[in-house]
Amino acid sequence: MSGIRTGLKRGIVWQNWGENQVFSPAQYAEPSNEAELLAVVRRAIAEGLSVRVAGTGHSSTPLVQTGGLLLSLKHLSGVTGTDVTRRRARALAGTPISAFGDALWEAGLALSNQGDIDKQTIAGAIATGTHGSGSGLASFSAAVRYVRLIDGNGDVVEIGEDDLDVLRAAQVSLGSLGVVIEVELEVSPKYHLRETITYPHVDELISGWDVNPDAHRHFSFLWCPTDGGAELFELPTPAGRPMADRAYTKVYDLAEIREPEGIDTTEGHRADRSYRIYPDGFGRIFNELEYFVPREQGLDAFREIRELIHRKYPNETYPVEVRWVAADDAYLSQQYKRDNTVITITVTAGTDYWGYLSDVDAVLQPYNARPHWGKLHFTTRARMEQMFPELDRFIGIRKQFDPGGLFLNDHLRPLLG
């Protein structure tokens, strides 16, 4: 390590965006380049320290907590290459999703889908199965075609399409295979979207439940249990229209427009480049639970959640978000071998919301609900064995990459150890 600056710091306090995860690692580092990253990881391995990587802190779970080394890869950022013919884009692990837009567009490409928030690092979004909405569109993880990482031996390992078995493990790994350096994604030719925002009553949503998701490229909604719910997400709604039992519904369809004259920034009717349409972002701090149920059971699951809130939790005013995501093959993916309806429950940060979330969990478990790995959940090893048929295969691969368990923490060890 001669001549390599590791930049280790001690005594820092790390807190996530939702302010429900706070801890002090023994060591903290923000390596400036790959050589520094490799040096600091190898040093931690030699000292027997656990290693976790923090993205931008948008996870509500203790995914990155460690008493060992905590890494930030914010300096290892940027799109490193594009291939228009193969529809591929490579990027360093610390690249925020927001940084892909202009870089890919200039090459004639675009991310195939995105979610409401584009501040997450691409490695963090991949590791947790983060997604947007669209019945024919899969998550970020499903688009991964190559991963380069540092394993538990301190070696740099490349995982590609020539070894699909290992790639399926790396696509959703919760950071347990190693420290990701670079990824390659399958992307799309650049495209424009047109937005349509409507405010239907829940009865209208239910009547079109099996039609709406397939009729549009992106369809999702935020159902408001009470009149004040939309304000919590800063959602613009028509003046004087009560929102109780209505939804803020987002529809994005492909649009043929010319720039700049075709660009429309009118709220609710925007037409623009895809990456400028997708993200909304939220200013208020909150925590979330998000479960994925088989698409064919989505309506029944939503009805039960709606009934639970009306009957037992009338003071829970945050909207319930509902989305659709297509199946994939990643071993720990929420979409493993099935299309899903996604139900997201939002709660006020800093409040005692565990009773409410526990009841939501109880309602959704009979639907074989799988958790978003970056959101609050009640998943146990026994549940995982039922939910993920390739769990043993994943754990076997994980142990090959990290025989000493350095990339596990107290949250992951009961699940993946």
Express each pLDDT in 329-346 by its tens digit. Answer: 999 999 999 999 999 999
**234 assigned to some structural domain:** yes
- Boundary of a domain, candidates 48, 72, 96: 72
- 312/212 same-domain check: yes
Q: What span, in angstroms and rounded, lies between the C-alpha atoms of 307 and 326? A: 27
- 100/162 same-domain check: yes
Higher-confidence residue: 176 or 2? 176
Contact between 69 and 28 under an 8 Å Cβ cutoff? The reply is: yes
Residue located via tokens 């970056």: 374
Residue 14 is encoded by which pair of tokens?
């790390």
Q: Which of the four pLDDT bands, split at 50, 70 and 90, describes residue 31? A: very high
Q: What is the pLDDT of residue 5?
A: 52
- 153/54 same-domain check: no
**4 assigned to some structural domain:** no
- 368/406 same-domain check: no
Q: Is the pLDDT of residue 3 over 60?
A: no
Q: Is the pLDDT of residue 126 over 50?
A: yes
Q: What is the pLDDT of residue 1?
A: 40
Q: Which of 135, 194, 133, 195 is nearest to 321 (CA)?
A: 133
**91 assigned to some structural domain:** yes
The DSSP call for residue 152 is T
- Boundary of a domain, candidates 72, 90, 108: 72
- 243/373 same-domain check: yes
**7 assigned to some structural domain:** no
CATH number, domain at 37?
A: 3.30.43.10
CA-only gyration radius of the chain, Å: 21
Q: Are strands 271-273 and 192-198 parallel, antiparallel or unpaired?
A: antiparallel
Give the ranges where 111-154 is alpha helix by DSSP (H). 122-128
Q: What is the pLDDT of residue 9?
A: 86
pLDDT per residue over 127-167, tens digit each?
A: 999 999 999 999 999 999 999 999 999 999 999 999 999 99
Q: Is the pLDDT of residue 6 over 90?
A: no
CA atoms within 13 A on the CB side of 348: 9
pLDDT per residue over 231-273, tens digit each?
A: 999 999 999 899 999 999 999 999 999 999 999 999 999 999 9
DSSP 10-58: -S--EE-TTS--EE--SEEE--SSHHHHHHHHHHHHHHT--EEEE-SS-
Number of H helices, E strands in the chain: 13, 20
**88 assigned to some structural domain:** yes
The DSSP call for residue 300 is H
Give percent above pLDDT 90 in the chain. Answer: 94
CATH number, domain at 359?
A: 3.40.462.10
Residue 383 is encoded by which pair of tokens?
């549940």
Phi and psi at residue 291, in whole multiples of 5°? -120, 150
- 27/101 same-domain check: no
- 376/398 same-domain check: no
Q: Is the pLDDT of residue 2 over 50?
A: no
How many domains are contained in the chain?
A: 3
- 221/137 same-domain check: no
Q: What span, in angstroms and rounded, lies between the C-alpha atoms of 89 and 8? A: 31
Residues with Cβ within 8 Å of 135's Cβ and at least 6 positions away in sequence, in order, are: 213, 214, 219, 295, 324, 325, 326, 339
- 270/147 same-domain check: no
Compute CA distances 387 → 46, 142, 228, 253, 391, whole Å: 36, 18, 36, 33, 9
Beta partners for residue 28, in sequence order: 9, 70
The DSSP call for residue 319 is P
**9 assigned to some structural domain:** no
Which domain covers residue 25, as residue numbers? 14-72
**62 assigned to some structural domain:** yes
Sheet holding 27-29, edge to edge: 27-29, 69-72, 51-54
- 62/197 same-domain check: no
- 292/316 same-domain check: yes
Residue located via tokens 């991949």: 126
CATH number, domain at 98?
A: 3.30.465.10
Mean pLDDT, the chain, whole residue set:
96
**20 assigned to some structural domain:** yes
- 372/251 same-domain check: yes
